[in-house]
Amino acid sequence: MHLLGGDFADPRLCAIFDAIVARYRDGQPSDLVGLYDDLDDDEGTLARIGGVATLAELADAAESGVLAESHARRVRRLALERRARLLHERAAAAPLDSAALAELNEIATKIDLLVGGSMLRSSFTADRLREVLAERQPDSPLPRVLDTEPTLHVLAALPKSGKTCFALSIAASWGLGIAPWTGAPRLPGTRVLVVSAEQAVRRIAHTARQLAHAAPGPSREGWEDRVVIVARDRALDPSLRPLLRLDETGVAALRGLIEESRRAGDPIGFVVLDSLSRLKPGDVEENDADAMSAWLDSLAAIATDMNVYVLLIHHAGHAARANPVSTPRGSSAIAAVAQVVLNIETPAGRSWERTLRVDGNNIESASTTFRVSDDGDAGRVLFFQPADPAGDADIETLLPVGSQVSVNGLALKMMAEDGMKADHPSGSAKRRAREVASAWKSAGLVAIDEPARRGHAALIRRLT
């Protein structure tokens, strides 16, 4: 249903409604100050509508949600009824022509739809549900990382883990329509938007260029033409500054920018937001579940409504390492609202690697180890390439022919090879030991005996 300014019987409301629609199309919020400025024109519009008192009265009486929809339907129905009465009055004076009769029939149909259970009819039921079920299930643009459908993703990691580099690496590949790393599919090739209140535009651009030059595989030349960056800079256009604080005004501006790209015929399909703590409204606390849920819902709605993948970067908590869904700092709503949560860790003693763990409602839990630099550049993040977990694990040294070891024992041996002495293996060392053992098993070098009792470490036997 489309409500029009002319649907209001009161001409003052027509002018106000048209002003609200104009601001919405420009991506601007419909606040009292903005409407006052728009209506205070040389033609005296503000005075004709009754001045600021009328605007304040309307703001106090404004409806929202389902009530707003119901009120809009009522306004539309009354407008149709007024038009029908006018046509009937004309018919009393002279017979109506065929066009007027057709209009009367159309009005009757529209009123019937508005009154006769139109909300139920527009719900997903019967044939509409069958159409949805008949549609082919979409594939993820990046399996083991992204959901199969555009939605809100949260990427959480400790400082200097490479979370921004990971996001920018995917962003450049997405915009160019190439695979982000060996073995991955080509990404869609639609434009990318990076919004950062965390870093200045110069630093983001230099990081993206460094990643583009260091990445193996297809060339990433020309990434600048496909990635739009909005970040802190003296030269940032004032119209874009609301994006650096995603309150109601900022979220509306974000929607407007994405819609503008769609109208231009080169739609944005992937959005990186860096970071939650810097972009959230000032009155929203990270530990406030209700406020955080409402704010994240507005971002999730953009993903769904605008058909874009949204990746929100956040800082991980120092506790809770067992499950990536529990790692984001702050309210549990952060992980609850996001459909997918990703976590990046640096394996102990292996600064040239990163482990990406992914979990979500509609995505299979996955763990992937990436090599992010060459040995000489250990500690820097230059690229992301899936690493062979057993690549530098010498089986002859760690597990001679005929010997056996537990996963924990293998983890301790590998830590010692990396120059780390410990009585108990770290969680990341145990995960890597399991990955190495799995790689050896796939190569036919070992057998893994799973324990009968939960909580006991698996036993790895070297085959003769």
- Span 239-284, pLDDT tens digits: 999 999 999 999 999 999 999 999 999 999 999 999 999 999 999 9
So what's the pLDDT on residue 347?
83
pLDDT at 322: 45
- Contacts for 55 with CB less than 8 Å, ≥ 6 apart: 16, 32, 35, 36, 39, 49
| Domain boundary pick from 335, 367, 386 | 386
Look at residue 271 in the predicted model and tell me its pLDDT. Answer: 98
Of 101, 121, 141, the last residue of a domain is: 121
Is 227 found in the same domain as 369?
yes
Tell me, what CATH number does 81's domain have?
A: 1.10.860.10
Predicted pLDDT at 268: 97
Are residues 212 and 336 both part of a single domain?
A: yes
CA nearest to 233, candidates 203, 277, 253, 193: 203
Q: What is the pLDDT of residue 65?
A: 47
How many other C-beta atoms can be found within 10 angstroms of the C-beta atom of residue 379? 10
- Specify the pLDDT at position 119: 56
Residues 382 and 415 reside in one and the same domain: no
Specify the pLDDT at position 13. 80
* Class of residue 370 by CB neighbours under 10 A (exposed 0-12, middle 13-18, buried 19+): buried
CA separation for the pair 319, 329 (Å, rounded)? 9
How many domains does the chain fold into? 3
Are 74 and 208 contained in the same domain?
no
Whether residues 345 and 370 share a domain: the answer is yes
Residue 244, pLDDT score: 95
Q: What is the pLDDT of residue 165?
A: 95
Q: Can you say how many angstroms the Cα of residue 318 is from the centroid of all Cα atoms in its chain?
A: 24
pLDDT of residue 84: 83
Is 62 in the same domain as 162?
A: no
* Shared domain check, 426 and 370: no
Q: Is the N-terminal amide bond of 275 cis, ω within 30° of 0?
A: yes
Q: Give CA–CA dist 411/423, Å, rounded.
A: 11
Looking at the fold, whether 438 and 320 belong to one and the same domain comes out as no
Residue numbers in the chain where pLDDT is lower than 50: 64-66, 320-322
